[in-house]
Structure formats: C-alpha cells, structure tokens
A and B are shown apart, each in its own frame.
Chain A
Amino acid sequence: MTETVGPAVGHIAFEDVEVVYKTGLKALKGVTLSIPKGQFVVVVGLSGAGKSTLIRTVNNLVTPSSGRVVVEGVDITHARGQALRAARSDIGMIFQTFNLVKRSSVIRNVLSGRLGDLPAWRGVLSAFPKADQAYAHDCLARVGIPEKAYVRADALSGGQQQRVGIARALAQRPSVMLADEPVASLDPPTSHAVMSDLKRIAREDGITTIVNLHFIDMARDYADRIIGMRDGVVVFDGTPQEATDAAFEEIYGRPIDDKDLRGA
C-alpha cells in the first residue's frame, strides 16, 4: 500500500509536502503523490486527517513549509504575485459552504470565475467581453440551471447554490478542479446529483479533479482512484475495487458503520 517514491511526474505532483500550521500542528507529514491528467481522485480520511490541507496546497491557499506542489509544470508552492494568480486561474475550487456572494445575482457569481484571466480594469468595471458572458451562461446551462441567471444567489436551494459554485469554477476554464467536501451540506439525493454533474463535466472537459469526501459509498461510486489519509500521511492509494471495507477500516483506524455511508 505504500507508494514507491520516485521522480514525481504527472499533471499534479506533490513532492514530499509538509505543512506545519502556526499553532505548531503538523497537518501533512511528507506527502508524495503523482496525479495524471484527467484523473478523478477522491481523498478520504477521518476528520482532522489533513484532507482539506492537502487540497489547499494545490492552489497555495495553504503554503507548504517544505516540499512543493507542481501543477502542469508550474511550481505553485513558490509562485508569488501575478504568477501565483495566473496559476490559480487555471485551478477551479468548490467549497463545502459554496462561498457564493449571496447578495449578487447567480450570473455575476459565475462571471467572477473569469476574473483571474481578465485585465484588472475590466474586472473592476465589470466590463466582461461578450465571449466571456456567453461562456458564463453556458456554464450555468451545463450544471442544469440556465434559468436562474438573474436570481439572487441566496434565493437558491443548497443544491442549486453548489451548482453555481461548480459553474463559477468551470467558468475559469480550469485544467484542475478542487472540491473540499462539496456535498457535505446537501441531502443524499442532491448529493448524488451534484456529484454526477461534477464527474460528468470533469470527464467531458478532461479536468483533473481532487475531491474530499466523507462517505465510503460515494467515494467508491465516483472515484477513478481513492487516496486514504490518516494523521497527515497517505495510508491508502488504490482503485475503488481495492478500497474494500477492510481497507477503509485501516484508513479510519476503527470499524466502519452506517454513518460512513451516504446511501442513495
């Protein structure tokens, strides 16, 4: 189950990544991974295992204290200023709490995904090129809510809000998509609908995707590859078929039960 540490290659490469928070807590203890282009990776592990930390090093919302993350040949860990922003604009992110601007319209939220690629003046004046506006509407159509474009974001249901979150990330035309527990605030049927949308879009556009999930069954349903974390260390790395109940009990360090399943 231990990965052979070789030269890190692939679309996203974690090279011996360590994260120590200001509190002194070591959240990642040397993670080395290579994720090929287009792969749909699900990260599982108990609360506090370091899943969010891992995902956040990919777009440098958390900066590793040693080691580095290379995304499509760019060392994002050491990128700063304009270079960092350019690298981030290629990486979409979806949040558990959606992180929409609630008082703005849906389409404005989606358009904000274009900001990283625009000249600053266009962004500040909200002067989006026609093509960008059309693209944003298309993103909304792809997540299935084209008719909600001019509704205020806080008037949507949770599932619809998360779809707006996906559309915003999609509007970036990303080659990498990160999702930190994207369905944790949603009910089971909605969870499945949102995950299917995410997976379908990632397939269609060939987007390399890393998703944190709590639920074993969902991880098995959607992943190309499952990575198990415990205490800041990768303890499992394999296909959904290899991720047996026994493997999960090893990752979680306890017997699994119904609470670990989302159900259908």
Chain B
Amino acid sequence: MSAARPIPNVIPPAPAHVRRNRAMLIAGIAVLVALFILAIATMSLPTWSRVASGLQRNALPLLRGLVRPETKVLELAWNSMVVTFFMAILGTALGALLAFPLSFIAAGNLLGGTRWALPGKSLLVAVRTFPEIVLAVIFVAAAGPGPTAGIMAMGIHSIGYLGKVFSDVIEGIDQGPMEAIRAAGGNQLHTFLFAVVPQVLPEFASNVLYRFEINLRSAAVLGMVGAGGIGLPLIQRLQFRRWAEVSMFLIVIVAFIVVVDALSSRIRRRLV
C-alpha cells in the first residue's frame, strides 16, 4: 500500500545447518526411492502379459461375482463365522490365562524380583515372533484338523502380546495401596487380591478385548491350514474361483468383524 517503501529484493542466504538438513532430507528420500526401484526390479514379478491374462480370466468373473453374492452359501458362511467367533473367544481366553502368571514374572516389580524378569521378557518376545500360522500347522499335525488346533495356536501366540502389555501395566501400578494393606497387617495374598488385582483388572480386560479383535481376524484365516473356522470353506471356494460364493463369505466376514469391532471398542472405552 505504501508507495514510499522500497520493494525489497534481497533474500538472506539460509544458514549452513538448514541447508544441510534440507540436503539430508532429499538424500533420505532418494535412498528410499532407489531401494524401492531396486526391490521392484529384482523381485521376480510376473511379466505384464501374464498379469494381464490372469486379470482377463479372473477380473471380470470376480467383479460379476462380487456384485452378485450367492445367497445359497449364506447359512454355511454364517455358521462357520459363528464357530470362528467362538474360536477367537477361547483362543483369547487361553492366551490370557497363560499370560497372567507369566506377566507377573516378566514385570519383576512384584514377584520373584528382577532375576526372572529378563528371561520372562525374552520368552514373551520369542513367542510373539513365532508366526501363528506355523503354530497352527503344528497343532493340526498333532491334534488333527479342526477348531482345537486353531484355538491352541491363537492361545499360545496371544501370550506374547498379552504378557507384554500385562507386564507393562503391572510395572506401572501405584505401590501406595499395597503398602497400605501391608501396613494394616495383610499378607501377600491379601495384598495381591486387594491392592494389585483391582488396579490392573480394567487395563487387563481392555487389552484382552483388543487382542480378541485381532484374534477374530486370525481365526478367520487359520482355517486355510485346516485349523478350523471359516477359512477352510472360503479357501476351497477361492481355489475353484466360485466368486459369487466367495463374495458371500467376504460380506459375512466383513460385516461380522465390523460389528464386533464396534461393540468391543465401545466396551473398551467404558472400561478405561
């Protein structure tokens, strides 16, 4: 607005550290992109013509099937999803039961002291790293195909996650109530029941529910290796490319999981 002020035309140079950071950011992005290109180039992806012919063969029937789900398999899909749901419940419960004592050992601030904390924590990490589906295959071989194998696999695998979060909760508890009960003449069991359990229970329950949401998704696929639930009938239909039936199964799975997620997260919000 002021005609009097001279129009400035000098840009002070950016200081060295600003230019260095900018250069490092650009270099970082360049490395990520280079790695990306390298990965794509060396990954033995199929040729375009193969992909195109695969799409040609399957894409249209797939889309046609997806928009017209086969209602004849609705009952089968629903029943298998119900079994899947209960598998997830039992698997989660088993995991929570096993994780409960372990987490007190891994926490190291209550029982046994710190001597067992490190081995306890390492065991939990090891369990978490071991792929669930491999566990399922082992249990299918041992106990035969069916939900039992899936429940065992989920149960064992969940120990890793639940044990970790349980022990984090335990390490964060308020020592005050424990001292109060000890001061009032309570023994170890009293302290545990009246000072520890009430403190940790809501958080434990919330994490168990969260794990249940994850396990419901796992349970839906464990059947692909014979460990019970909706995975088996679904993968059979996928192998025979019965898209309309696949579509029905997908709808049931998505609807079920969306509803259970919503319910579960509502309960979780009320817990903590």
Mark out the residues of chain B between 1 and 22 whose CB falls within 8 Å of any chain A CB in the assembled complex: 1-2, 5, 7-12, 14-15, 18
- Do residues A149 and B12 form an inter-chain contact, with CB atoms below 8 A? yes
Residues of B within 8 A of A133 (CB): 11
- Pair B18/A204 contact, Cβ less than 8 Å: no
A209 within 8 A of B: no
Could you say which residues of chain B place their CB within 8 Å of the CB of A137? 8, 10-12
Query: Is A215's beta carbon under 8 Å from chain B?
Result: no
- How many residues does chain A have at the interface if contact means C-beta atoms less than 8 Å apart? 17
CB distance from B116 to the nearest CB of A (A): 43
Is A120 engaged at the interface, CB distance under 8 Å to the other chain?
A: no
Which B residue sits closest to A203, measured CB to CB? B2
The residue on A at minimum CB distance from B17 is A150
Q: Does A134 contact B (CB under 8 A)?
A: yes
Contact residues in A for B1 (Cβ distance below 8 Å): 173, 175, 205-207
Contacts of B10 in A (CB 8 A): 134, 137
Closest to B2 in A: A205
Q: How many angstroms between the C-alpha atoms of A205 and B3 in the bound complex?
A: 9
Known contacts A175-B1, A205-B1, A205-B2; is-contact A150 B14 (Cβ 8 Å) = yes
CB distance from B17 to the nearest CB of A (A): 8
Residue of A nearest to B4 (CB): A204
Residues on B with beta carbons closer than 8 Å to the beta carbon of A149: 12
Task: Tell me which residues from 162 to 196 in chain A have a Cβ below 8 Å from any Cβ of chain B.
Answer: 173, 175
Q: How far apart are the CA atoms of A206 and B5 in the complex, in Å?
A: 12
**Which A residues between 129 and 152 are near B, CB-CB below 8 angstroms?**
130-131, 133-135, 137-138, 146, 149-150
**Bound: A138/B5 CA distance, A:** 11
Question: Can you name the residue of chain B whose Cβ is closest to the Cβ of A107?
Answer: B14
Q: Chain B residues near A130: list those with CB within 8 A.
A: 9, 11
| CB pair A131 B9 closer than 8 Å | yes
**For the complex, what is the distance from the CA of A173 to the CA of B3, rounded to whole Å?**
12
Pairwise interchain contact B12-A146, C-beta atoms closer than 8 A: yes
Inter-chain contacts of A207 with B (CB < 8 A): 1
**Which B residue's beta carbon lies closest to that of A135?**
B8
CA distance A173 to B15 in the complex (A): 27
Interface residues of A (CB under 8 A from B): 105, 130-131, 133-135, 137-138, 146, 149-150, 173, 175, 204-207
26 A–B pairs (Cβ distance < 8 Å), ordered by A: A130-B9, A130-B11, A131-B7, A131-B9, A133-B11, A134-B8, A134-B10, A135-B7, A137-B8, A137-B10, A137-B11, A137-B12, A138-B8, A146-B12, A150-B14, A150-B15, A150-B18, A173-B1, A175-B1, A204-B5, A205-B1, A205-B2, A205-B5, A206-B1, A206-B2, A207-B1
